[in-house]
Amino acid sequence: MPVSTASGPDQRLVIALDEAVRAVMQQQQALEQVKQRATAILSAAGLAAAFMGGLAARDEEDVLGPAAFVALGAFVALALAVLWILQPRTFTFENSPKALLGWVDDDYSLDAMRRHLATYLEDHYDTNQTKIDHMTRAFQIASLLLVVEVVALLLDLWGR
């Protein structure tokens, strides 16, 4: 195990820790982006339904066609996917100060602390990434459902 020299810390461990911190920070940004996109797509779906539904309501027929029911189903499924994305989850983007202080109390060297911290951050990254991947997949499904909704609404308007 590399040790600190009189000239300073092992630069390899500094690089490893810096990279671990960078990765977790980028992951935190990616999580926020998925949530923001999910909210935006739900707004777009609602707007499309309201606009095209309003156009359809101008028609004197009160009967909804099969395409309107497909659009409604797609909107409901999209809303459920977005709600699933936005539900509270536990993510870990930092380490416990208590654990760090424990390392100090156990007389870990600064390099040993960097090594452990980088390892723990990678563990957090891996655990978080699994959840973010599932959220991203749900967003992809919601995006497809938006397309289905809009196409179905257009078909319903075209058929009137």
Return phi, psi of residue 5, to 5°: -100, 170
Cα separation values, 120 from 29, 32, 70, 73, Å: 19, 22, 47, 43
Check: pTM over 0.95? Answer yes or no. no
User: What are the percentages of helix, strand and coil residues in the chain, rounded to 5?
Assistant: 80, 0, 20
For 93, residues 6+ apart whose C-beta sits below 8 A from its C-beta are: 24, 25, 27, 28, 124, 128
HEC readout, 16-78: HHHHHHHHHHHHHHHHHHHHHHHHHHHHHHHHHHHHHHHHHHCCCCCCCCHHHHHHHHHHHHH
Domain boundaries, the chain: 23-158
CA nearest to 149, candidates 33, 36, 53: 53
pLDDT digits (tens, 9 = 90+) for 30-68: 999 999 999 999 999 999 888 876 766 666 666 678 888
Segment 81-101, tens digit of pLDDT: 999 999 999 999 988 899 899
CA–CA dist 79, 84 (Å, integer): 9
Residue that wins the pLDDT comparison between 8 and 104 = 104
| CA distances to 26, 27, 66, 98, 151 from 94, in Å | 13, 12, 50, 12, 44
pLDDT tens digits along 14-32: 999 999 999 999 999 999 9
